[in-house]
Structure 1
Amino acid sequence: MTIRDPSTGAERFVIVPASYVFFLRETGSSTEVLLQLRRGTGYMDEHWAAAAAGHVERGETAEQAARREAEEEVDVTDVDLLFLTAMQRTAHDLPIDERVDFFFAARSWTGEPRIVETAKCADLRWFALDALPDPVVPHEKVVLEALRSGRVPPLTHFGF
């Protein structure tokens, strides 16, 4: 999608930013991630996804968006975020196909994660990083696999 720059008249493409939070916990010898089962959203329904994620709003930083989404979607606050990667992504099947996603991990927060948006989330469950459910939202799976390997690059790409 493009927009016209009012000052120059030139067309520019639109980038949509989003923030994702992978809540992590250690259990014995494995690391687990909290995932939600999307339902009723119109995008990637019946796929497992980050427990908290959403668009960055105007005037909001990626970190602020991540913390807001964590509170809105799973009712936790005081989320201690660790930046993982930024992903440049294109999705040719969407109206706005240029995206930049900011992925964070969280190992500390206040509250017990629970489903808040029942119309958009059918389940919320912990999974071992080495035993992810199927299917996982494809671009999120790229980051989860990198996290599992212990080598998350600062910049990732998807869809190119």
Structure 2
Amino acid sequence: MNELERLQHQPQHERQQANASALIHNGSGEYLLHLRDEIPGIWEPGSWSLLGGGCEPGDRSLEETIRRELWEEAGLDIPELVPFAVEQARGSDGTTVPIQIFAGQWAGDPAALNLTEGVMLHWFRPEVMPRLRMAPSTRELVHRHAELLRTGHDGSTRSATDTDADTAASRPPHPHTPSAPATSGKTVLNGIGVHLYLENARGEILLGLRHPNSLYAGGRWHFLAGHCEQESAVACLVREAHEEAGLLIDPGAVEYVHAVHMLDAPGTQPLMQMVFRARRWTGTPEILEPDKCVSWSWWRPEALPEPLVPYARAAIDGVRAGHLYTEMGWT
């Protein structure tokens, strides 16, 4: 059992002693660092560090820990976070704490974030970090990740060999929708989103109204959706339906119906938004995550609500037309 597996399988009372941090890069060679308060007695006072914190009793995994910390400290919701390394950090009192490092991509403006702890957030390139006050282990982590990115092996699971990727990059674009130019053969990770297309007996589609303060699509109608963790897309769909709305989905009655491959803006992480229809389910939609969704409603496909997330509308139109694929944002 490796260090990550050991941490994830610790009893809850022991795992609370573990920490998680996020190694966030913007796809342009810069990394997001957090300037900590200059307060005696805290961990690494006055230093540049990674965002993160300790596991709390309600956290079911270290990924939940880092996602909670990112949201609480900066209002950040990173679509995909991948386990990268385990750092053994040593405090001023000699205490050693294991920190699970997750890597993720985000390309926003740090100054626009609602920072609740520390002094500021800023993008830095690895070559300027020797001039910063920061832990040598953190600097080494950044340099290691940057080198892996440069060589196309950043520690994440890849679905094809380098040869396959090069071949795919040379293929012509989709015949019906234009694509953006290739990025000089550089491998770019794509986030995977999973969405539930659910129809009732009257042919109405289930949509949720997202909380107005939600980081993504606040105040808009959207599918029941989530991001894949260490699981299959169908398993993610079943889990999210139960966690968000109390619905029990029969995995054997789930079918793939559409995908929207999208790019929100140049330089951001591309996303493959997969949509699945469930033919059988039990339960009535409930508000189980009020911080994300404030209402569930059924809508006729010809009278969808506004404002509706654009790619959700595109997916519904595609499903109704019998199309399996749409591209958005690539031109």
**TM-score (normalizing by structure 2):** 0.43
Residues 12 and 122 from structure 1, CA distance in 2 versus in 1: closer, same or farther, beyond 3 angstroms? Answer: same
The 5 A counterparts of 1:9-158 are 9-10=151-152, 12-27=187-202, 31-39=203-211, 40-50=213-223, 52-57=224-229, 59-79=230-250, 80-92=253-265, 96-147=268-319, 150-158=320-328
> 1 CA distance for matches of 2:288 and 2:210?
13
Deviations 1:22-56 (A, max 9, x none): 211132xxx10011000132111111001x20101
Deviation at 1:4, TM superposition (A): 4.6
Q: Which has the higher strand share?
A: 1
Does the 8 Å contact 2:248/2:283 carry over to 1? yes
Deviations 1:109-153 (A, max 9, x none): 022221110111111111111110111100010011223xx3232
Aligned to 1:6: 148
* RCO higher in structure (CA 8 A, sep ≥6): 1
**TM-score (normalizing by structure 1):** 0.85
> 2 CA distance for matches of 1:144 and 1:8?
38
> 2 CA distance for matches of 1:78 and 1:130?
25
Identity percentage over the alignment?
Answer: 26
Runs of at least 5 residues in structure 2 that lack an aligned partner in the other structure? 1-25, 28-144, 153-185
Deviation at 1:97, TM superposition (A): 2.4
Residues 8 and 121 from structure 1, CA distance in 2 versus in 1: closer, same or farther, beyond 3 angstroms? Answer: closer
Deviation at 1:5, TM superposition (A): 6.4
Runs of at least 5 residues in structure 1 that lack an aligned partner in the other structure? none
Does the 8 Å contact 1:17/1:99 carry over to 2? yes
Larger radius of gyration: 2
Amino acid at match of 1:124: W
RMSD: 2.1
Segment of structure 1 superposing worse, 82-91 or 130-139: 82-91
Does the 8 Å contact 1:89/1:159 carry over to 2? yes
Aligned residues: 152
SS in 2 for 1:25: coil
> 1 CA distance for matches of 2:322 and 2:248?
25
Segment of structure 1 superposing worse, 129-138 or 82-91: 82-91
Does the 8 Å contact 2:258/2:318 carry over to 1? no
SS in 2 for 1:72: helix
